[in-house]
Amino acid sequence: MKSRDMNHDWIATARTLSEALPFMQRYAGSIVVVKFGGNAMGDEDAMAEFARDIVLMRQVGINPIVVHGGGPMINDMLTRLGIKSEFVRGKRVTDKATVEVVEMVLTGLVNKRIVQAIMDEGGRAVGLSGKDDDLMVCEADDPELGFVGRPVEMNPQVLRDLFKAGIIPVVAPVATGMQPNETFNVNGDTAAGAIAGALKADRLLLLTDVSGVKDANGNVVTAMTPEEVVAMIEDGTIAGGMIPKTETALKAIEDGVRAVVILDGRVPNACLLELFTEHGAGSLIRPAR
């Protein structure tokens, strides 16, 4: 039974919901691709909170797609199986044995955990990989790195079919190749960007373990254009692991995504803050109007 006691917390909650209405209307019917990874994947409470946010997005008329990674789980399984990794220029070589483990962990373990979390929160979800219905076809990104793929062909109709059925797709970044029986491991951000581009998504949300893109003084840049991102990469302001994320953002925008947001997935309800509040969250990258 509902409590009828009025207090400031409940009033604030009602006000927040009311203020979110214009944003809910703005995104109704839109496609939002969310790259999920990082520390939240290993925390049950954080996973449940993320799943609840995704279900809410679907409930108010958004078509969310979750694309996930799973690096720590892959590393753990490789260690347990005694499979040693080789590295070239600091990057793991994905040989045949390794890509089999990658596929097993991403599609069989991580993917189904996320699907179950969404189901537990009252949503409908189906797990698939880039192999299903040839969603994502790849070629080797660098022959020296083995079965690490770069998407060259996208077939997103299966995702549209799931939208029509009211189902949330959860995609593991494992793809087929141009040759028979080829399997490629795809970087999670890269896969999310390729899917968002193929669908001309309204938003691509890249959840990370940092607060966003920072300027030379260490402050988060809340909004920038692709040209400004390129300049920050060239002058070294954007460096390290943020370079591939921003490059993914630039490619997605080039492919037709309206905007990309790099935001801190450790912040509670980060996706809802970005979509349904005036303030937003993280760093928004979109073409100048």
What string of DSSP letters covers 113-151?
HHHHHHHHTT--EEEEETTGGG-EEEEES-GGGBSBEEE
d(CA 280, CA 97): 42
Count how many residues are written for the chain: 289
Element at 197 (helix H, strand E):
helix 188-199
185 is in an annotated binding site: yes
d(CA 261, CA 243): 14
Phi and psi angles of residue 286, each rounded to the nearest 5 degrees, phi first: -155, 155
Q: List Cβ neighbours of 273 (8 Å cut-off, separation of 6 or more).
A: 267, 279, 280, 281
Q: How distant is the alpha carbon of residue 156 from its chain centre?
A: 16
CB 250 within 8 A of CB 188: no
C-alpha torsion angle, residues 223, 227, 228, 232 (rounded to 10): 130
265 is in an annotated binding site: no
SS (H, E, C) 14-77: HHHHHHHHHHHHHHCCCEEEEEECHHHHHCHHHHHHHHHHHHHHHHCCCEEEEEECCHHHHHHH
71 is in an annotated binding site: yes
The Cα angle at residue 37 between residues 33 and 43, in degrees rounded to 5 = 125
Structure tokens at 20: 């979110």
92 is in an annotated binding site: yes
Structure tokens at 225: 């254009």
Largest CA distance in the chain: 65
Provide the annotated binding site: 70-71, 92, 185
User: Residue positions in the annotated binding site for substrate?
Assistant: 70-71, 92, 185
